[in-house]
Structure 1
C-alpha cells in the first residue's frame, strides 16, 4: 500500500514528499552510480514525487559516458551537503518516466518498515534493471 513519506537531503535545504509502496521492494543495483554511492532506492511514479523546498537549489548530474539514452537518467543532489536523494529515469518496464527515491533520505520511514521491505536486486551494470545479477552478496 502506498504511503506518503517525507524526505530531505542531510542539511535539510531540499525537502520532498514521495508516495511509495515499500512492499514493492527496496532496490539494490550494481550500476556504477548506485554502487559508488551505496544508493538504496524505491521506485515511484513520476507524478508521485513532489519537491516541497529547495527545488531551485537542486543540482543535476548526468553520468557520461552512460549506456542510458540522453535524457533518460538524471540524478539530483544538494549543493550544500552533497546528498543524492532522487534520480529521474525512463524505463519501458516502469511505464515510462519514474523516480528512484533514495530510501536513506526518507525522514519518517521506520526501521520496522525498512526491515519488512523485500530487497530487489538490479543488474544495472549490464543494463538489466529488471533482472538480478548473478552474484548479489556484495550488494
Structure 2
C-alpha cells in the first residue's frame, strides 16, 4: 500500500514568523494574519510541493510550543474558522496539511497547570505533570517543583 506522505514534498512554515505575529500573546484580540500564507500557494505550486507543515498553530503564550489551548488556533494569527478557510484553500490547490503539535508538554497558562498552581496537592491534575514535588519551589516561583 502506498501512502500519500511517502512521495510528499513538504514546505515547512513557522507560522508565527511568516504571519509576522507578535512574540507575546495578549489573548485580548484575534489578529487575522493567515491570509499571508495564501499568498505563498503559487510559489509552493511552482516548487512542486504537495504538502505543508505548520508549526506551531495552537493557542500559546509566546513561541508556540508553550501551548495553552490545543483546541484553538492562536489568536495572534487568526481563529479556528480562518484556519479552516486556509486549509480548504490549500486542499483545493492539491496540498496535504500537517500540524506540528507538542502533546507531551504545555505552557504555564494551560488550564491544568493553572489549576495545579491554584490548588497544589488538591488539584485533580497533579498526575498530568511529571515529577511534581511539593517539598520545594520551582525556579519560576511556583510553590512546587516539576520536571521541565
Q: As a proportion of its length, which structure holds more helix?
A: 2
Common fold, TM-score beyond 0.5? no
Q: As a proportion of its length, which structure holds more strand?
A: 1
TM-score where L is the length of structure 2: 0.24
State the structure with bigger RCO (CA 8 A, min sep 6), 1 or 2: 1
TM-score where L is the length of structure 1: 0.25
